[in-house]
Structure 1
Amino acid sequence: MVETIKKNLSLTEFLDHPETKPASEYINGKILQKPMPQGEHSLIQGALCEVINQVTRSQKIALAFSELRCTFADRSLVPDIAVFRWQRIPKTDSGRIANRFNTYPDWMIEILSPQQSTTQVLNKILQACQQGTELGWLINLEEATVLVISQNQRLDVFKEEDKLPVLEGIDLSLTVDTILEWLTI
């Protein structure tokens, strides 16, 4: 992540600025621009959203969103994938999905880019879990691992054929190897 220096910018002022490409995040009073996703990152992100939504959408269990801004606890994050339980998806008075999500995701998935700091991204997931996020994944394609943080802030490392935990109530079975296989086209 590249830090953009802006002194004394509040979260409200940050949100009033136009969106950047790639997205910028507001964390601990700092503005950090995410790296531009590359091929592997982009493929995994799209495939994971698709797989999660195939299992959850029709039964109205949850929805996975790609690059959705989530603003909560004086932070504004743009997880690679934010999964919301159906009943927690913000809606307008007319019942349509809201444009602004002023809450934490139930499940946050980040895919580590080569130029990103593992510690920085892991800390972002940990902070979300401290605010109510039930599950966080940090997918490290280079190391072929998925670091998982649960709501109690326990950190576990998954690799190869380890079955990855998902949100309770979602009937989805994924392993690290399954996710890595998506990269072969």
Structure 2
Amino acid sequence: MTASLTQILTIEEFLKLPQIEESSAWEYVDGVAMQKPMPKTRQSILQKRLLIEIDRHSELYTALPELRCTFAGRSIVPDIAVIAWNRIQTNEVGEPEDNFIAAPDWSIEILSPEQKVNRVIDNLLHCLKHGCRLGWMLDPDDYSVLIFAPKQEPNVCRGGCQLQVLEEIHLELTAEQVFAWLKIEKR
């Protein structure tokens, strides 16, 4: 179940709440703080494998797990935020700034049984509206990937369907390949 604080907050008030950095990811949408459910095993495996594959196939982008992205009146935490290295602000010693205040280039969400599908889609659409170039919503129960891109209809991919990735990332994946990562051979 997703927890929420029903008190209407400003984004500034939300970002000062102590619990948003102490526990499972909290997001801020339309004045309300909502906690994302803790990832389950299948979610974590898919997240780990996608992080590795995206980073292996691109030098221009990095894939980051659970990065808070605060922009356009929302503060969201995609399961994976793919961001061009040149968009990550650095401090005076060349280290990344702690707060990322823009939409990721590619936002990936992996559904858990407790999540509300429309909330996840709403966050992906918000990202696209504010500069994100690609959104994925993986549904491990349906073995499908719902793909969102600006000015295109959403596309559901299953089986051998080739998944759309950012042009500069040289990665070829099908939905079938992604969900095959969930098959564990006992050693």
Give 1:22's aligned residue. 24
**1:65 aligned onto 2:64:** yes
Name the CA distance, whole Å, in 2 between partners of 1:147 and 1:69.
Answer: 22
What TM-score, normalized by structure 1, do the two folds share? 0.94
Give 2:7's aligned residue. 7
- For residue 154 of structure 1, report the CA deviation from its aligned partner: 2.5
- For residue 3 of structure 1, report the CA deviation from its aligned partner: 4.2
Tell me if the contact between 2:162 and 2:174 (Cα under 8 Å) persists in the aligned partners.
Answer: yes
Deviates most, 138-147 or 4-13: 4-13
Q: Residue 85 of structure 2 aligns to which amino acid in structure 1?
A: W
- For residue 127 of structure 1, report the CA deviation from its aligned partner: 0.9
Give 1:182's aligned residue. 181
For residues 39-97 of structure 1, what are the alpha-carbon distances to aligned partners after superposition, in whole Å with 9 as ceiling and x for unaligned? 000000011001111112xx3x1000000000000100000000001211222233211
Give 1:33's aligned residue. 35
Give 1:74's aligned residue. 73
**1:44 aligned onto 2:46:** yes
5+ unaligned residues in a row in structure 1: which ranges?
A: none
What TM-score, normalized by structure 2, do the two folds share? 0.93
Q: What aligned pairs does 1:4-153 form with structure 2 within 5 A after superposition?
A: 4-18=4-18, 19-56=21-58, 59=59, 61-152=60-151
Deviates most, 20-29 or 78-87: 20-29
Tell me if the contact between 1:129 and 1:153 (Cα under 8 Å) persists in the aligned partners.
Answer: no
Q: Displaced runs of 4+ in structure 1, greater than 4 A?
A: none
